[in-house]
Amino acid sequence: MNASGLGTMAVIGNGVIGHGIAEVFAKAGWDVCLIGRSQDSLKGALQQIGASLNEFVQAELLSTSSAKSAAARIRTSTELQAAAAAEFVIEAVPEDMELKLDIFSKLDGICRSDALLATSSGHPASCVDKCVEHRERVIAAHFWYPPQLLPLVEVCGSGATTKAVVVRTCAILGGIGMKPVVIDCEVPGFIGNRIQFAALREAWALWAAGVASAEAIDSVIRYSIGRRLAVTGPIESADLGGLDTMYHFARFLLPSLDTSSEPPEQVAALVRGRHCGVPSGKGVYDWFERDGSGLLSARRRELMRWLQMDQKGRDPDKAPTPVPQISASGTKPRGSDEDRLD
Ligand SMILES: NC(=O)c1ccc[n+]([C@@H]2O[C@H](COP(=O)([O-])OP(=O)(O)OC[C@H]3O[C@@H](n4cnc5c(N)ncnc54)[C@H](O)[C@@H]3O)[C@@H](O)[C@H]2O)c1
Ligand SMILES: O=C(O)[C@@H](O)[C@@H](O)[C@H](O)[C@@H](O)CO
């Protein structure tokens, strides 16, 4: 245990997800060992963590002294061996399965016998534990980008993971202020990516078929269900909207939704041409014409505002926003008989 009474954790991989996870644990008082391939890239990761900590100070989510202590709790290494003392280890290297298998097999030999070994990737634990002897301690802890600003972690064990490991992983993640959600059964993409990609498949299909422009499709979502989904999930939304209505409309609509098992050729062609979005200046949108970094900053600011609300106890799961009193003009829950105008 360190001076904060917390433990030591290690993150393997110092890219966008790895350095974000390191920051989140260090802010919560853990000693962190961030492991990467080169001193140069680790230096870059520490600079990014420093810049992010400053943003948290500016947003009054962190004091200057806490930001300094958090930065001081992170040490770096280029050796996997440096994870030996950690009780919680998270792998965040690129989506290269051979590399992940190799890292997990080595970690199993290097780490303490009571250490938990987690993958931050969208892949289930059973994909990365194939060369591990102690498979009972391998678990998926799928973070969202950017982990400093999005609280969710999808936690999912394989058939070999013990219940105690699932419980301890959730306790650790909950203890650092993240929102762990347990998925009981391994399924590709867990929950978030299944739903994100179902929506993306339909959005790409509408764009590729010329039904509407990319701007129009994004605007429809941003100004409607995008806002609503931050407060009520899809299943709650359907119950609030009236399950009968949603059921009957689903029966009309579902047969016409896109069911392709490949992304549209127009998207494939962009990727083949290395038009990969904001970093390359062009994707579906032309980012030479549009302000990509401005959009990223605006999104960070808005996500930071949500964290400020969470901290003030306005997380809908912690302190539900009071439902307005039923008034003559009618803010009654839908579904009550009087609410029906038929
Ligand atoms: N980017 C996202 O939106 C996102 C979201 C959730 C989960 N993930 C998952 O997180 C993982 C990492 O993704 P990312 O986007 O951070 O990738 P990234 O390419 O930004 O970072 C990967 C990092 O791993 C380092 N690395 C490579 N080989 C290594 C090794 N042998 N030892 C130590 N470090 C090594 C690289 O130098 C790099 O810094 C992936 O499994 C990805 O699926 C990514
Ligand atoms: O933040 C996201 O959108 C991510 O969950 C995805 O980008 C995704 O997890 C992939 O990297 C695969 O892990």
Q: Binning pLDDT at 50, 70 and 90, where does residue 312 land?
A: confident
Q: What percent of the chain has pLDDT over 90?
A: 88
- Write out pLDDT tens, residues 54-101: 999 999 999 999 999 999 999 999 999 999 999 999 999 999 999 999
Measuring CA to CA, how many Å separate 173 from each of 49, 69, 152, 165, 219? Answer: 19, 20, 10, 12, 34
**Which ligand is in closest contact with the Cα of 150?**
2
Nearest CA to ligand 2 atom 12: 122
If you measure from the C-alpha of residue 89 to the centroid of ligand 1, how many angstroms do you get, rounded to a whole number? Answer: 14
Could you tell me if 149 and 307 are in contact, meaning their C-beta atoms sit under 8 angstroms apart? yes
pLDDT number for residue 330: 42
Q: Binning pLDDT at 50, 70 and 90, where does residue 5 land?
A: confident
Average pLDDT, the chain: 93
In angstroms, the CA 15 to CA 19 distance is 6
pLDDT number for residue 333: 53
Nearest CA to ligand 2 atom 8: 122
The amino acid at 6: L
Q: Binning pLDDT at 50, 70 and 90, where does residue 339 land?
A: low
In angstroms, the CA 20 to CA 144 distance is 10
Percentages of the chain per state (helix, strand, coil), in multiples of 5: 50, 10, 40
DSSP 64: H
Structure tokens at 283: 């994707």
pLDDT number for residue 3: 73
If you measure from the C-alpha of residue 154 to the centroid of ligand 2, how many angstroms do you get, rounded to a whole number? Answer: 11
Atom of ligand 2 nearest to the CA of 144: 1
- Write out pLDDT tens, residues 252-302: 999 999 999 999 999 999 999 999 999 999 999 999 999 999 999 999 999
Atom of ligand 2 nearest to the CA of 123: 13
Ligand 2 pocket check for 193: Cβ under 6 Å: yes
The amino acid at 106: K
Give the predicted TM-score (pTM) of the model: 0.92
Sequence-distant (6+) residues with CB within 8 A of 336 are none
CA angle 228/230/232 to nearest 5° reads 65
If you measure from the C-alpha of residue 4 to the centroid of ligand 1, how many angstroms do you get, rounded to a whole number? Answer: 28
Beta bridge partners of 75: 33
In angstroms, the CA 153 to CA 174 distance is 9
In angstroms, the CA 141 to CA 150 distance is 14
